[in-house]
Each structure stands twice: as structure tokens, then as C-alpha cells.
């Protein structure tokens, strides 16, 4: 009986806990200005070269949406639309890994014409992933004549580690990068019914990185580090 009461007290306390996320953002500007003009377009692409490097399409789309809302003068071209239009030049195994490699891709007349027609000025590459890094606790579920339920609780930690690099198509150089690490703890207390309290790690990483990228393209921003 004492054990049950102790468990009930623990479960009740956990219900009132909220999942939390800690975010660290680092950024560097490799060029003094990142000019944007009305009518310019930008592409946000994820890295998918290997099984270990599989940036989530949902995160890429989220960052693109944040840039679209924060930089009103720029059109953001969706990743899937861009990759399909330029097949096979930006598929997982053929996508350029450095700005100078992109110059070679644009040596193809048809590719260069499409880029010019779309008025693409910047490429934003996103690399990284979200992984489960730690878990603890247990849960037992059972069904009987009088009904069923789950008892116990568990916690787990997710870590998002991403880096974006920004390429300028006018100079074929990298002009900046933003890296984000987000660590979130989720809880799953269960007293008959499991109640998930989930840390929105990927969403928080998108928000932090997206906001910083918007600042990167802001003419009035002076807070970013400038590389000599």
C-alpha cells in the first residue's frame, strides 16, 4: 500500500512537470554583408549523402518557412521542388559539397539557365540530425477482466545537432554558418493512462536556427561575429 501511494505521488508530480529544451547557438559571418534584393530567391537544402548524414526533411522545411516569414523580399524555393527540377545535379550522392564544386555544376548551360531564371542568390545547406541519447525508467501495461492500464514512468533525452552553411552564388563562396545544439528531456508518467510530456527538440532547434538566419540576412544586424 505504501509503495502504491509513493508511486501515485511520484506520478502526480511528474504530470505537472513540463518537458524542457536547452539550446546553444553559435554563428559566424564570413562576409561583412549578405545583400538581399526584392525578387531574389533562396534554396534551403538538407544533406543526405550517407546513412549517417540524413538531415530531416521536416527540419529543412521548417527553416525554409521561418526564412520566408522573416525575409519578406526573398522567395524560398522548397527543397523537393528544387531537387526535382535540377535532377540529377542535387541528388544525395551528386550534390556539391563546396561552393567551388557548385561553380562546376553551373558550367552546365541548362543548369546555369535555370538558376538564372529562378534568380537564386543563396544556397543554405543544413546538416545534422536529432537522436535519442539517453533513457531511463520502465512501464508495465496489463489487461484484465476489470479493464487494463499502464503503470510506471520513463524519461528520455533527445539531442539535435545541426549546422547550416550559406553560399553566395555571385562569388561562389561560403559567407556564413550557424550551428545549433538542442537537448531536451521528455517524460512519460503512467497511472492507468500514459501521459507523454514531449520536448520539441527539433522544433526548438528550427526556431533558434531560423531566427539566427533571419538576423544574418538583416541589414541592421550587428550582433554576429565577423571573421577577419
Kindly report, residue by residue over 107-140, the tens digit of the pLDDT. Answer: 999 999 999 999 999 999 999 888 888 877 777 8
User: Alpha helices of the chain — where are they, by DSSP H?
Assistant: 2-15, 57-70, 79-85, 99-105, 109-118, 201-216
Q: Which pLDDT belongs to residue 9? A: 43
Give the domain ranges of the chain.
2-216
Q: Which percentage of the chain shows pLDDT scores above 70?
A: 82
Statement: residue 191 has pLDDT above 90: no
Residue 10, pLDDT score: 46
Q: What is the pLDDT of residue 221?
A: 54
How is residue 109 written as a grid cell?
A: 548551360
Residue 147, pLDDT > 50, answer yes
Would the pLDDT of 7 be above 70? Answer: no
Q: What is the pLDDT of residue 200?
A: 80
Q: What pLDDT score does 62 carry?
A: 92
Amino acid 14: pLDDT: 44
Residues, the chain, total? Answer: 228
How far is the C-alpha of 144 from the C-alpha of 149, rounded, in Å?
9
Residue 51 burial (10 A CB sphere; 0-12, 13-18, 19+): exposed
Give per-residue pLDDT as tens, 43-99. 999 988 666 667 889 999 999 999 988 887 789 999 999 999 999 899 888 899 999
Distance CA 181, CA 160 (A): 5
Average pLDDT of the chain to the nearest whole number: 80
Handedness of CA 47, 51, 53, 58 (dihedral sign): positive
Does residue 225 surpass a pLDDT of 70? Answer: no
Amino acid at each position: 500500500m505504501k509503495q502504491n501511494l509513493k508511486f501515485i505521488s511520484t506520478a502526480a508530480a511528474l504530470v505537472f512537470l513540463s518537458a524542457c529544451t536547452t539550446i546553444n547557438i553559435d554563428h559566424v559571418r564570413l562576409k561583412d554583408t549578405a545583400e538581399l534584393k526584392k525578387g531574389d530567391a533562396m534554396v534551403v537544402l538538407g544533406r543526405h549523402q550517407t546513412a549517417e548524414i540524413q538531415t530531416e526533411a521536416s527540419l529543412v522545411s521548417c527553416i525554409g518557412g521561418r526564412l520566408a516569414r522573416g525575409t519578406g523580399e526573398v522567395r524560398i524555393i522548397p527543397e523537393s521542388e528544387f531537387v526535382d527540377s535540377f535532377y540529377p545535379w542535387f541528388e544525395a550522392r551528386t550534390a556539391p559539397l563546396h561552393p567551388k564544386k557548385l561553380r562546376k555544376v553551373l558550367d552546365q548551360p541548362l543548369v546555369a539557365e535555370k538558376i538564372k531564371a529562378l534568380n537564386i542568390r543563396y544556397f543554405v545547406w543544413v546538416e545534422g540530425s536529432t537522436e535519442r541519447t539517453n533513457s531511463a525508467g520502465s512501464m508495465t501495461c496489463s489487461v484484465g477482466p476489470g479493464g487494463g492500464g499502464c503503470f510506471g514512468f520513463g524519461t528520455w533525452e533527445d539531442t539535435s545537432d545541426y549546422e547550416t552553411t550559406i553560399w553566395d552564388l555571385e562569388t561562389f563562396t561560403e559567407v556564413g554558418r550557424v550551428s545549433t545544439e538542442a537537448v531536451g528531456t521528455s517524460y512519460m508518467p503512467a497511472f492507468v493512462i500514459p501521459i507523454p510530456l514531449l520536448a520539441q527538440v527539433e522544433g526548438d532547434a528550427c526556431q533558434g536556427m531560423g531566427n539566427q538566419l533571419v538576423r544574418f540576412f538583416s541589414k541592421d544586424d550587428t550582433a554576429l561575429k565577423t571573421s577577419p
